[in-house]
Structure 1
Amino acid sequence: MSRRFTYIYDTFCGWCRGAHPTIAALIESGAEVEMLHLHLFQGAKAHRMADGFGTVALAHDKRVAGLSGQDFDQRYVDQVIQSPTEVLDSTFTAWAAGLVHDHGAATEIALAHNLQNQRYIDGVSAQNRSAVEAAIVRFGVSAALEEGAETAGQTAARARATLASLNLRGVPQLILEENGQRNALSIADFYKSPTAVTALAS
């Protein structure tokens, strides 16, 4: 019996922050996991906080915190949610994910968590390119951020195709493939006990 997992996410999705302990536990268990960054927040979906999206995002983030225990610091509220200029665009983080994608799921989930902490704890703007560049250097990447764009586009296309094939929408999504069958799993089932997900890998 062969089991493999696909995790579809966007770094700057609050629900993906909530899912982090579960996915990290699954990867640490030795399960075969492929990370696919959807690059959800771009173009028409790059929302400006001051246009009302900040209020919506904060409501979701509070739900995520309550369900998963993941932190959303007041600095994030003050410097990101309430910023008159902040735009939720995950392009830089999508490129960063593209640069580390071939390094394996453990590296990609660690980078995503690092960038999420920058945003949700330290209140770093999505437009702060230098913060993302500094993060990839810490993960041993010396390439220019734009060099991850092609891989980012390819993984986003695969993510969209996978979601469409299973009639799924949005992120995060954890998909189990076993004996040629693919099924979406409920990450919410593991919020209170993230390591319970490791039973699925055996």
Structure 2
Amino acid sequence: MTIRLHYVHDPLCGWCYAAAPLVAAAMAQPDVELVLHGGGLFPQPMQLPAAKRAYIREADARIAQMTGQVFGPAYLDGLLPDPAFTLYSLPPIAAILAAEELRAGAGPEMLKAIQSAHYVEGRRVIEAEVLVAIASGLGLDGGAFASALPRQPVEAHLVDTRQLMTRFGLGGFPGFVRERAGEWRVVPHGVFYGQPAAFVESLRAG
């Protein structure tokens, strides 16, 4: 019986990066279908004060310890401390939607690639040319992707995501909801950071 795993995420959310191994483990299962719902953690371009960047650095260190996820020097020593560092969720969410439009199933690939570009390589993933380069690295046609990027219905997508979050009482990112045989339930995930196999087991429970 197929499990549809609805994943409420944001490409620039550190705890979503922490959950990436859980998502990868779920996607490796032949009976699990992943459905992405971008949430817009940073709906407007935001430059962070030094105190907020220090807070993020502490959270990133905790994530690395809990999950083994890599935060590269280009991010930790280059992008994060830069006063001009800007967070803006809409461009990378548009990129995920554009990737899915061009190739079915490419949305999760694009999310993973954006997270790696941001947290490992320290690239500015809110910039269109960077997103085009990432898409090209996934084998998507760069020109077609560049054309698809600005026409994505990001605002409508965010509204749908927020409605899903309200329906199931999800207060932030990440969030997981299992749909199976017409029944829906929230899947707790916080206890499974660093335990992908246990997370997969939890999808099939109940």
Match of 1:4 in 2: 4
Shift of 1:148: 5.2
Which residue type is aligned with residue 80 of structure 1? L
Shift of 1:173: 0.5
Equivalent runs, 1:1-202 vs 2, <5 Å: 3-30=3-30, 31-43=32-44, 46-102=45-101, 103-105=103-105, 107-139=106-138, 140-141=140-141, 142-144=144-146, 147=149, 149-199=151-201, 200-201=203-204
- CA 1:114 to 1:2, structure 2 compared with 1: closer, same or farther past 3 Å? closer
Q: Following the alignment from structure 2 to structure 1, what is the Cα–Cα distance between the partners of residues 33 and 51?
A: 39
Deviation digits for residues 77-104 of structure 1 (CA, Å, limit 9, x no counterpart):
2222210111111222111011123444
- CA 1:150 to 1:111, structure 2 compared with 1: closer, same or farther past 3 Å? closer
Shift of 1:15: 0.5
**Native 8 Å contact 2:99 2:145 kept in 1:** no
Please identify, of 146-155 and 65-74, the stretch whose mean Cα deviation from structure 2 is larger: 146-155
Unaligned runs of 5+ in 2: none
**Per the alignment, in what secondary structure is the counterpart of residue 12 of structure 1?**
coil
Q: Following the alignment from structure 1 to structure 2, what is the Cα–Cα distance between the partners of residues 148 and 35?
A: 19
Q: Give the TM-score of the pair, scaled to structure 2.
A: 0.85
Q: Following the alignment from structure 1 to structure 2, what is the Cα–Cα distance between the partners of residues 17 and 42?
A: 18
- CA 1:79 to 1:109, structure 2 compared with 1: closer, same or farther past 3 Å? same
Shift of 1:114: 1.2
Shift of 1:157: 1.7
Deviation digits for residues 62-87 of structure 1 (CA, Å, limit 9, x no counterpart):
12111111011222122222101111
- CA 1:6 to 1:104, structure 2 compared with 1: closer, same or farther past 3 Å? farther
Which residue type is aligned with residue 125 of structure 1? R
Aligned length: 199
Shift of 1:47: 3.0
**Per the alignment, in what secondary structure is the counterpart of residue 4 of structure 1?**
strand
Instruction: State the percentage of identical aligned residues.
Output: 22
Q: Following the alignment from structure 1 to structure 2, what is the Cα–Cα distance between the partners of residues 183 and 166?
A: 8
Unaligned runs of 5+ in 1: none
Q: Following the alignment from structure 1 to structure 2, what is the Cα–Cα distance between the partners of residues 69 and 149?
A: 36
**Native 8 Å contact 1:79 1:124 kept in 2:** no
Which residue type is aligned with residue 10 of structure 1? D
Please identify, of 55-64 and 145-154, the stretch whose mean Cα deviation from structure 2 is larger: 145-154
- RMSD, aligned CA: 2.2
Deviation digits for residues 121-142 of structure 1 (CA, Å, limit 9, x no counterpart):
1111244332111111233142
**Native 8 Å contact 2:117 2:125 kept in 1:** no
